[in-house]
Amino acid sequence: MWPTERLAALDYPTPVFVYDGAEVRRRVDLVRRAFGSEIRLLYAVKANPLPALLGTMATVVDGLDVASEGEMNAADAAGFAPDRLRLAGPGKTAALLERAVRSGVPVSVETPGELTDVAGYARALGRRAQVLLRLEPREPRRAFGVQMSGPTHPFGLDAEETVAALDILRAAPDAIDLLGVHVYSGTQCRSIRGWMGHLAEALDLAEAVRRAGFALREINVGGGFGVAHSGTEALDVAALGPRARRTLDRFAAAAAEAARPRFVLELGRYLVADAGVYLTTVLRTKTRGAHHIAVLDGGAHHLWAATGQLGPSPPPVAVSPPGRGSLAPGRTHLMGPLCTPLDHLGAIAGRLRQGDRVAFIQAGAYGATLSPLRFLGHPAPREVLLDRDPAPIEPAARR
């Protein structure tokens, strides 16, 4: 994907994120082939909301998972119609809910109170709101690097809240059209067994709603597909897909032909992480005893994940400029330009010199979007999507 020669050929001014659109399309294709053409595939905008990337997504995925007004605006600008969006997130404001109901974006509700509010907006607007119940898994799923359920988490309806939500639905057929259910267990799952456990529970939770007398047209079985990190393998999606499909087919077959639900996957990281690199240049070097330090022109303000504070970090790779020769022996600590020791971005073999380049691979997901971009007033990073030839530089258009 990003062999060193390809990294060395990226002669953009740094710091810069470079994304490979062909790799994104390849991932989408891999998921579709594994899960079959019937699966609906959403891209979770939170993973990377770059406008050009959403433009690519508009041509290859069925829709977007959005979580805020900003993401709704980005989806709108990329040409996604409201019925291709799904709004989820624990802290939706009144303005956001009202906008979703007004424009016809289905809402994943996370509390009974939110459902009551949605019914209120629908009545006030003279519309029926489309709703999914976001159901919380009963137990945290350990196969996921970050788990999104448990007594201190605000995500989704637990068993008691689900009963309350169903009562609200029974009383509001004029205002609410229940589209289905949504179960998201967490992110960074690399185990087929672990993900199948999540799927089994998601379908159990869906079945309980169906048994309560509600037809489900859509079951969003979440995502959280993991990528490789520090010597571990990525989730084997090609092997997972057919297994998951058998389970989904069995579940669908239990419903009458006309009432068969469609299944939805919502993926962020898996579609874009490996497609992106963050490229930096060494500004200064220092040697302190046995320690070599390189200060880069990019850092944690653009790629917080490289600090390791968010879990496994995007690994750095030294990219000597062509003609420079190989690196001197040693080991170099990588520091960004921020005035904090938190801006330590790992260490690499070799002794770097001023002007050498360092690339952080697997930087396509939760990169700039999950970083303190305003800290110390450094400029936002440039971002380039290699999807056409020649590739234009997209100046920091995100904010």
Ligand X SMILES: Cc1ncc(COP(=O)(O)O)c(C=O)c1O
Among 18, 44, 74, 129, binds ligand X (CB under 6 A): 44
Closer residue to ligand X in complex, CB, 46/229: 46
- 237-253 vs 21-35: helix axis angle to the nearest 10? 40
Name the nearest CA neighbour of 332 among 289, 287, 363.
287
Interface region with ligand X, contact rule CB under 6 A, candidates 122-130, 204-212, 238-246, 262-270: 262-270
Which of 10/47 has CB closer to ligand X? 47
Q: Which residue is nearest to ligand X (CB)?
A: 268
Question: Interface mask (CB under 6 A) for ligand X, residues 66-105, using x and -?
Answer: ----------------------x-----------------
Beta bridge partners of 177: 130
The span from the first CA to the last CA of the chain, in angstroms, equals 28
Q: How many CB atoms lie within 10 A of CB 286?
A: 12
Cα-trace Rg, the chain: 23
Out of 15, 106, 223, 276, the residue judged to bind ligand X by CB under 6 A: 223
Question: What are phi and psi for residue 320, nearest 5 degrees?
Answer: -70, 140
Q: Which stretch binds ligand X (CB under 6 A): 6-14, 193-201, 263-271, 335-343?
A: 263-271
C-alpha span between 114 and 228 (Å, rounded): 37
Among 194, 197, 261, 268, binds ligand X (CB under 6 A): 268
User: Minimal distance in Å, beta carbon 115 to ligand X?
Assistant: 17
Minimum CB–partner distance for residue 268 and ligand X (Å): 3
Q: Which listed residue (92, 229, 269, 344) binds ligand X by CB under 6 A?
A: 269
Least gap, CB of 258 to ligand X (angstroms): 29
Q: Could you tell me which stretch among 5-13, 76-84, 261-269, 346-354 binds ligand X (CB under 6 A)?
A: 261-269
Instruction: Tell me, by CB under 6 A, how many residues bind ligand X.
Output: 15
- Structure tokens that stand for 367 in this block: 């990169």
Buried/exposed code over 163-201 (b: 16+ C-beta within 10 A; e: otherwise):
eebbebbeebeebbbbbbbbbbbbbbbbbbebbebbbeb
- Which tokens go with 392? 């234009």
Q: Does residue 266 belong to the site contacting ligand X (CB under 6 A)?
A: yes
CB of 147 to ligand X, least distance (A): 11
Tell me whether residue 223 or residue 367 sits nearer to ligand X (CB atom): 223
Q: Which residue's CB is nearer to ligand X, number 43 or number 251? A: 43
Q: Which is nearer to ligand X, 222 or 337 (CB)?
A: 222
CA atoms within 13 A on the CB side of 363: 35
Could you give the CA distance from residue 388 to residue 317 in angstroms, rounded to a whole number? Answer: 25
Residue 376, classed as helix, strand or coil, is: helix
In whole angstroms, give the CA distance from residue 314 to residue 307: 9
CB-based contacts of 77-83 (< 8 A; 24+ apart in sequence): 77/51, 78/51, 78/54, 79/55, 80/54
Q: Look at strands 316-319 and 328-335 and give their pairing.
A: unpaired
* 274 sits near ligand X (criterion: CB under 6 A): no
Extended beta strands in the chain, E state = 16-20, 40-44, 63-66, 85-87, 107-109, 129-134, 144-147, 176-182, 186-189, 218-220, 262-267, 276-288, 291-296, 316-319, 328-335, 344-351, 357-361, 382-386
Shortest Å, Cβ 240 to ligand X = 14
Closest approach of Cβ 386 to ligand X, in Å?
A: 21
Region 10-39 residues binding ligand X, contact defined as CB under 6 A: none
The structure tokens 């801006």 sit at 343
CA atoms within 13 A on the CB side of 104: 6
Footprint of ligand X on 144-203 (CB under 6 A)? 184, 187
Based on the shown chain and the rule CB under 6 A, indicate whether residue 224 belongs to the binding site for ligand X: yes
| Binding mask of the shown chain, residues 108 to 147, with x at each position contacting ligand X by CB under 6 A | ----------------------------------------
Q: How far is the CB of 33 from ligand X (least distance, A)?
A: 18
Least distance in Å: CB of 226 to ligand X?
8
Q: How far is the CB of 283 from ligand X (least distance, A)?
A: 32
Length of the chain equals 399
- When binding is defined by CB under 6 A, the residue of 41, 56, 61, 65 that contacts ligand X is 65
SS3 category, 262: strand
Positions touching ligand X (CB under 6 A) are 44, 46-47, 65, 88, 184, 187, 223-225, 266-270
